[in-house]
Structure 1
Amino acid sequence: MTKTFVLALCCLSFFLLFSCKGPAAEKKPYNVLFIAIDDLRPELGVYGNDIIQTPNLDAIGLQGTLFENHYVQVPTCGASRCSILTGLWPRSRQHLQNSAIEQFMSNEPERERPESFVHHFKRNGYYTVGIGKISHSVDGLWYGYEESPEGAKMEMPHSWDEMLFDPGKWETGWNAFFGYADGSNRQGKNKQVKPYEAGEVDDLGYPDGLSTQLAVRKLKELSDKDQPFFMGLGLFKPHLPFTAPKKYWDLYDREDIPLSPFPELPENVHPNSLQESGEFNSYQLGEEKAGLDQKLTDDYARKLRHAYYAAVSYSDALVGKVLETLESEGLADNTIIVVWGDHGWHLGDHRIWGKHTNFEMALRSPLLIKVPGMIPRRIGTEMPVSSIDLYPTLMELTGIPVDFPLDGQSLVPLITAGEDGARAAQAFSYFRNGISMRTQRYRLVKYFREAEPTIELYDHQNDPMETVNVAAEHPEIVAQLMPLLEKGNTGLYADSSN
């Protein structure tokens, strides 16, 4: 080979390299897929449960950043969603109610401050699509459980380019939310229903299957757009009733499903800190009623936990269909995926079947964030984080400025480096006239009520199930932690009424 030929070949290669490459291509903005799963506690394989079958959620956790100790701000659906969407702690007792979004967003004109992080995405060039339960209402409309949605106001009127929901045979959103496989629903049957069902149907036989079908179709449409998108997909299950196609029940041998490790009342705690499982008992054909006076039988408790596991596996399978679509449409490499449980749930723990307490079981939920190109991380129990941290996190990841105050703190340093020296190890939550603060080791709760004790302290190093309030035994620890707890006192209990 002559030197002249080699030189010519090099010149040709140089020309082809730079003529084909052209100007440096601009990096496309990230898309965002936000998956909200109702009443999902950290009962996933990736969180250490070796019996439950959740391969798709586990994959997100293994490929992204998993937060071991993530805490919601309020352990009830609407109020928890209000906090994460606004990035703010609750400021009033109305912010602790399921109607929080309706009260503070539905009737409001568009203002300089966006109503939600979805609204902020929309203002910054994103096409925003909501499917299912993202705010409190299951279809984004404000109407009562037994009312017609016709003419109803949007819960978040300025946030969505599209808000989609297919009620199917249930006809309305709330009927679908409390629906059974035959098209009936809890309110239509005047609560004469069971709190569980193994339906002889396929994945489209329950409303979440229809929502996932909508999400798959919409992702295929969005893949053809040049505009970045934010999609919110809200799955109902495992919210009561614990319904799922029978094939997900069949994944389990019931005898393998563990009972609660602590089904008894905690010590040194007033009953006002607990609750009587009223939501669960509203399913009036259940075999047994739950209450603080006695625990359910082991057989019935295991049956209910089986139902919960089946409902979680159903949601997991639906998430898998969405992940498959992201891959097939070429969206996976440029889409941030967030999986969030809107609060935890007592599965018989402390004799409670439900949320609505300031205990770990009601406040801790999964948070998984997968960012393309980021190495997988597991943020351990030494660093508790909060739902309100998601707003600034998503804005930092997508490069969208925020020129208004938020109570949350970006999780990006934890996602990128696994540590954040500027972050305090504490998370605040609010309910039942109380403020709860979780640190690396302790949970401190201060109640604004007459019923004693009003201070509760749990040592998670020695008592991870929060079985004994040790505040009276360790006043020095309470005194040390109380100034930190007061930083989370937003004044919502200023009147200190019961």
Structure 2
Amino acid sequence: MRNLIHVLFFALVVSFSFSCKEEPRTPPNILFIAVDDLRPELGCYGKSYVHSPNLDQLAAESSLFENHYVTVPTCGASRYNLITGQLPKNPGDLSNQASVSNIANKPAGERPTTFMQELKQNGYYTVGIGKISHHPDGYVYGYHEPKSDKIELPGSWDEMLLKAGKWGTGHNAFFGYADGTNRNGMAKEVKPYEAGEVGDDGYPDGLTAELAIEKLKSLKQQDKPFFLGVGFFKPHLPFTAPKGYWDLYDEENIPLAPFAEIPENSSKASLQNSGELNQYKLGEEKPHLDRVASDAYARKLRHGYLAAVSYIDAQIGKLLDELEEQELAENTIVVVWGDHGWHLGDQKTWGKHTVFDNALHSVLMIKRPGESGQRISQVVSTTDIYPTIMELTNVPSQATLDGESMVSLMENPAAKHWRNTAYSYFRRGISLRTPQYRLTKYFRDQPPAMELYNHQNDPYESKNVANEKPKVVKQLMPIWKKGNTGIFKE
């Protein structure tokens, strides 16, 4: 009897121990949404006049990074920094062709490893739709050329897709108008905005949302975790969106740039002449550093930008709804990232391509399944996204990375160990952002060589105080030097 009791007790212990073992965790899926030229012009960033309900809801459920800064304020180079996790080391890393030069045109052993490639090598099924690197459909060819079969990021994708619709190619779709024409084919004889009498699928981003929704349905059937990257074109120029999104705004009530002058003690060389905007030949005005836009035209352009933002917000909402519909949301990390900011008349500038906050401050939110939303005020960089994705997916990275995982910051937004800085590079300048200051050193002939903006009392960067605050400059320079990769020579 005693032996029988021992046997039964042993069986019970074994059974209990097996029942207590954790089930193997299914690796999380990732839905990564890249939005072109999206500065933090959303309700969740305090812009109450912007209609962005879907992104605002996602932000409430995410770690919302209030002070995220990109490394390079131009599309291709910012995306190259994102996918490689490396600070720019040579001037070519600041080009829109950075991925072409350093990845597509290099043999496999000489390319930097993208985070999508690391995920793919560790069991993820990777799909890109739209603009993830620089070329709108992920293939390398010129604006006026037919689509090639040369992929921009070899080794990164199981599938790279775009539904170009009536526009025919990715480049044409990127600059497309509602009638199927595009900026390239029209020799730039077009306006920089359009309110089309069409539905959401009357512009390319509506087709991208449709394609991504269909892909989610098929990815659910996969026996692998997936990475789905979706790149939306708007609010990049031209500011085109269905008229219904324009109608969300009363143009007369759209606020103008809070500071529309060249900063005091700064230089025109620190800014740019709005060439990207002014190449649209039918624009009613051609604002530049010597001629500010009229209030009416500035509101028209800002109206177009906001309409495009609201249009993309709606497409993202459809995608998030489908994630719920397919019962994938419970095991999918959602990231929304803006590839850089955009001056909307700020500092007399329309466009990116500066190392002022308006061109560098962009959207970043990361939703983790089962975690509640929070706002993170510490300074972070796009360079930090690669290691963060690696930690969130528990994929060991073999790449050389310059950023830090933000997971510990997401676990404790008040963490004192966090670096709290971001470096940016452009216009022969290296810029350091801290919670209070932006310090930029320029490697150029035009003075000033040093610019310092105090965001505590000058949030719009209206006055360079480098000469007034030499002690602050001296204190910040050792931190600035950590970001000096030798990209510019004295």
Q: What is the TM-score of this pair, normalised by structure 1?
A: 0.93
* Structure 2, unaligned runs of 5 or more: 1-11
Q: 1:10: which partner in 2?
A: none
Provide, for residues 219-256 of structure 1, a one-character-per-residue CA deviation record: whole Å limited to 9, x for no partner: 00011112000000000000000000000001111122
- 2:55 alignment partner in structure 1: 57
Q: 2 CA distance for matches of 1:410 and 1:223?
A: 28
Task: Return the letter of the residue paired with 1:155.
Answer: E
C-alpha contact (below 8 Å) 1:113/1:404 kept by paired residues: no
| Aligned partner (choices 277, 293, 310) of residue 313 of structure 1 | 310
Other-structure match for 1:122: 120
Query: Paired residue for 1:359?
Result: 356
After TM superposition, list the pairs within 5 Å mapping 1:54-203 onto structure 2. Answer: 54-111=52-109, 115-151=113-149, 153-203=150-200
Matched, 1:217 2:220: no
The answer to whether structure 1 residue 247 and structure 2 residue 244 are counterparts is yes
TM-aligned CA deviation for residue 21 of structure 1: 7.4
* Selected match of 2:403 from 408, 414, 418: 408
* Partner of residue 367, structure 2: 370
User: Which residue matches 1:29?
Assistant: 27
Q: Does 1:458 align with 2:456?
A: no
The amino acid that maps onto 1:315 is: I
Moved more, 261-270 or 232-241: 261-270
**1:473 counterpart residue number:** 468
The answer (yes or no) to whether the contact 1:126–1:230 under 8 Å persists in 2 is yes
Aligned equivalents of 1:79, 1:112: Cα separation in 2: 18
Show the counterpart of 2:5: none
Q: How many residues align?
A: 477
What residue identity is the alignment partner of 2:458? D
Aligned-CA RMSD value: 1.7
Deviations 1:110-155 (A, max 9, x none): 339762101111001000000000000000011111111134x111
AA partner of residue 122 (structure 1) = K
Aligned to 1:344: 341
Structure 2 CA distance for aligned equivalents of residues 109 and 326 of structure 1:
37
Secondary structure of 2:109 counterpart: coil
How far did residue 420 of structure 1 move? 3.0
2:387 partner letter: P
Contact 1:413 1:419 in 2 (8 A): no
**1:427-470 per-position Cα deviation (integer Å, ceiling 9, x unaligned):** 10000000000001000000001111110000000100000001
1:335 is matched by which residue type in structure 2? T
Unmatched segments (≥5 aa) in structure 1: 1-13
SS in 2 for 1:154: coil
User: Conserved in 1, the CA contact under 8 Å of 2:102 and 2:112?
Assistant: no
Residues 114, 120 of structure 1: 8 Å contact kept: no
The 8 Å contact of residues 409 and 418 in structure 2, kept in 1 or not, is answered as no
The answer on whether the counterparts of 1:428 and 1:437 sit within 8 Å (CA) in structure 2 is yes
Distance change >3 Å, CA 22–CA 428, structure 1 → 2: closer
Determine what percentage of the aligned residue pairs are the same residue: 58
Q: 1: distance between equivalents of 2:311 and 2:421?
A: 33
Task: State the SS of the aligned residue for 2:194.
Answer: strand
CA distance in 1, matches of 2:20, 2:467: 71
Question: Which residue of the partner structure matches residue 261 of structure 2?
Answer: 264
Q: State yes or no: 1:275 paired with 2:272.
A: yes
Find the aligned partners of 1:112 and 1:377 in 2 and give their Cα distance: 40
Q: Which amino acid aligns with 1:308?
A: Y
CA distance, structure 2, for counterparts of residue 304 and residue 227 of structure 1: 44
Q: Distance in 1 between matches of 2:218 and 2:400?
A: 35
Conserved in 1, the CA contact under 8 Å of 2:113 and 2:399?
Answer: no
Match of 1:491 among 479, 482, 486: 486
Deviation of 1:25 after TM superposition, in Å, equals 2.9
Aligned to 2:423: 428
Q: Is the 8 A contact 1:393 1:410 kept in 2?
A: yes
Other-structure match for 1:324: 321
- Distance in 2, matches of 1:342 and 1:24, equals 39
Is it true that 1:437 corresponds to 2:432 in the alignment?
yes
Partner Cα distance (2:73, 2:399) in 1: 26
Contact kept, 8 Å, 1:115 with 1:156, in 2: the verdict is: no
How far, CA to CA, are the matches of 1:176 and 1:252 in structure 2?
A: 26
**One-letter code aligned to 1:229:** F
State the alpha-carbon separation in 2 of the partners of residues 78 and 297 from structure 1.
31
Contact kept, 8 Å, 2:139 with 2:148, in 1: the verdict is: no
